[in-house]
Amino acid sequence: MEFKFSKKEELLQWAVNDFAQRELATNKLDTLDHIPEEIIRKIGELGFFSMRIPEKYGGKPTTWVMIGILAEEMAKANISIANLIMVSYGVSISLSTNGTEEAKEEWLSKLAKGEKLGCISMTEPDSGSDVSSIQTKAIRKDDIYLLSGEKSMVSFGSQVDVALLFARTSIEKESNGVTAFLVPLNLPGVTKLPIIGMGLLPSRPASLVLNGVSIPVEYRIGQEGEGLHINRSMGLFSDLSRVLSGLISLGLAQTAMKSAIAYGKKRFAFGRPIVQFEAISEKIAEDATLIEAGRWLCYKALWLKDQNLPSTKEAAMCGWWCPKVAFQAIEDALLIHGHSGYSEDLPFQQMLRDVTAFEMMAGTEEILKLTVAQIVIGKAALPVNLTDHFD
Amino acid sequence: MVFFTEVQERFRRTVHDFAHRELCSGAQERAKSEQTSPEVIRKLGDAGLLRLVTPEKYGGKPVDCVSIGIVFEEICGVDFSPMSLMLSHVVIPLMMEWAREDLRREWLPILGRGEKLACFGNTEPDCGSDAGAIKTYAVRDGDFYVLNGEKTSISAGMQADIIILTAKTNVKAGVKGITCFFIPLDLPGVNRSRFKDMGSIPSGRASITLNKVKIPLKFRVGEEGEGFTKIMNGFDFARVLVILAGIGMAQNSLAEVTEYVKKRIVFNNPISRFEGVSFKIAEDATLLEASRLLCYQTLKMRDEGLRHNKEAAMAKWFGAQAVVRVMHDILMIFGWKGYSEEMPIEQRFRDAIGLKIGDGTSEIMKLIIAREILSGTFGPTM
Domains present along chain A, CATH in parentheses: 7-117 (1.10.540.10), 119-224 (2.40.110.10), 238-389 (1.20.140.10)
> With contact defined as beta carbons under 8 Å apart, do B356 and B323 qualify?
no
Is domain B119-225 classified as CATH 3.40.50.460?
no
Task: State the complex-level ipTM.
Answer: 0.93
Is domain B229-377 classified as CATH 2.60.40.2470?
no
Give the distance from residue B279's alpha carbon to the nearest chain A alpha carbon, in angstroms: 11
pTM assigned to the model:
0.95
Chain A to chain B Cβ contacts (< 8 Å): 127
Give the distance from residue A30's alpha carbon to the nearest chain B alpha carbon, in angstroms: 13
- Tell me the domain boundaries of chain B: 6-117, 119-225, 229-377
> With contact defined as beta carbons under 8 Å apart, do A67 and A244 qualify?
yes
Q: Does A279 touch chain B (CB under 8 A)?
A: yes
Looking at residue B380, what is its pLDDT?
A: 66
In three-state form (DSSP H/G/I as H, E/B as E, the rest C), the secondary structure along chain B is CCCCCHHHHHHHHHHHHHHHHHCCCCHHHHCCCCCCCHHHHHHHHHCCCCCCCCCHHHCCCCCCHHHHHHHHHHHHHHCCCCHHHHHHHHHHHHHHHHCCHHHHHHHHHHHHCCCCCEEEECCECCECCCCCCCCCEEEEECCEEEEEEEEEEECCCCCCCEEEEEEECCCCCHHHHEEEEEEECCCCCEEEEECCECCCHHHCCEEEEEEEEEEEHHHEECCCCCHHHHHHHHHHHHHHHHHHHHHHHHHHHHHHHHHHHHHCEECCEEHHHCHHHHHHHHHHHHHHHHHHHHHHHHHHHHHCCCCCHHHHHHHHHHHHHHHHHHHHHHHHHHHHHHHECCCCHHHHHHHHHHHHCCCCCHHHHHHHHHHHHHHHHCCCCC
Output the tens digit of pLDDT for each of chain A's 391 residues.
788 999 999 999 999 999 999 999 877 898 899 999 999 999 999 999 999 999 999 999 999 999 999 999 999 999 999 999 999 999 999 999 999 999 999 999 999 999 999 999 999 999 999 998 999 999 999 999 999 999 999 999 999 999 999 999 987 656 679 999 999 999 999 999 999 999 999 998 999 999 999 999 999 999 999 999 999 999 989 999 999 999 999 999 999 999 999 999 999 999 999 999 999 999 999 999 999 999 999 999 999 999 999 999 999 999 999 999 999 999 999 999 999 999 999 999 999 999 999 999 999 999 999 999 999 999 888 887 777 777 6
> With contact defined as beta carbons under 8 Å apart, do A110 and A104 qualify?
no
Q: Does A338 touch chain B (CB under 8 A)?
A: yes
- As a whole number, the mean pLDDT across chain B is 96
Instruction: Give B78-106 pLDDT, tens digit per residue.
Output: 999 999 999 999 999 999 999 999 999 99
Point out the residues of chain B with pLDDT beneath 70. Answer: 1-2, 377, 380-382
Looking at residue B1, what is its pLDDT?
A: 66
Contact flag A198-B336 (C-beta cutoff 8 Å): no
Q: Does A345 touch chain B (CB under 8 A)?
A: yes
- DSSP code at position A300: H
Q: Which architecture does CATH list for B6-117? A: Orthogonal Bundle (1.10)
Give the separation between CA A348 and CA B354, rounded to whole angstroms. Answer: 13
B336 closest CB neighbour out of A130, A360, A365:
A360
Instruction: Give B190-227 pLDDT, tens digit per residue.
Output: 999 999 999 999 999 999 999 999 999 999 999 999 99
